[in-house]
Amino acid sequence: MSSKIKSEIKLFNKWSFEDINVNDWTLEKYINLRPIIVPHSHGRHEHRRFWKTSRVSIIERFINRLLSPGFIGSKIKGHKSSYNSGKKTMLLRSLEDAFTLIELNTEQNPIQVFIDAICNCAPREETTRISMGGISYASAVDISPQRRVDLALKYLVQAIGTRSHSNEHPFEVNLAQEVIAAANNNQESRAVKKKDEVERIAVSAR
C-alpha cells in the first residue's frame, strides 16, 4: 500500500495510521496495523488458520474480543444483550467515543496509545502443568508472540469489564481510562496487574 493511500485512510476518518510504532519489536509481525476506516471485516478470516493475525486489524480483534457473550448486556448501561441487535455497531460507536476521550486526555494519537497498552499488557512468561510418573508440577515457559498479543487483548477486555461493573461512569470512559493506564504501564490498570501476576508466578515456578 502506497504511503499516499495509507495517509488518506484514517480510522473512523479521524485518526491516521502513519507513524504508529510498536515499541516491542517481537510483536511487530503480530499486530496488524493495516489502515482501515471501519474495523469490520465481516468475518472473512473465519475458518482460515492464522488469518486473524495477517488479515484482521488489531482494533477489530479488540472489538471482537469485547463481543464475548454476556459482555454487552452487563457492562454497557442501558442495553440488553441480544444476538441480533447490532452489538458490533454499538461497540464501534463506543470505541470511537473512547478514542476521542483518549485523544483529549493524552493529546496523542489514540491508536498509538492503544498499541502501547497492548505491548505493556503482553506477558513474556507463564506456567504450564507437567505430569510425569503420577506427579504433576508447574513449570515456567516462554510465551510465543502471537499468544502474547492474544493474552494482552484478553487482559484488557477483562480489565474493562471489571472496571465497568457497578461503575457510575459510562462504558466509553471506563474503556478510555483502562487503555490510558495500561499505555502508561500504571499499576492502576488491572490488565497490567494481571500481566505482572502471571510473570511473577512464572518466576517462582522456574
| C-alpha–C-alpha distance, residues 55 and 33, integer Å | 10
Give phi and psi for 75, each to the nearest 5.
-110, -30
- Determine what percent of the chain is predicted with pLDDT higher than 70: 83
Confidence of residue 206 (pLDDT cuts 50, 70, 90): confident
Nearest by Cα to 41 from 51, 28, 49: 51
Q: How many domains does the chain have?
A: 1
pLDDT of residue 3: 58
Whether the per-residue pLDDT at 167 is higher than 60: the answer is yes
Whether the per-residue pLDDT at 104 is higher than 50: the answer is yes
Whether the per-residue pLDDT at 68 is higher than 90: the answer is no
| C-alpha–C-alpha distance, residues 75 and 164, integer Å | 6
Where residue 194 sits, what CATH number does that domain have?
1.10.455.10
Whether the per-residue pLDDT at 157 is higher than 80: the answer is yes
pLDDT of residue 69: 63
Tell me which residue range forms the domain holding 155.
3-204
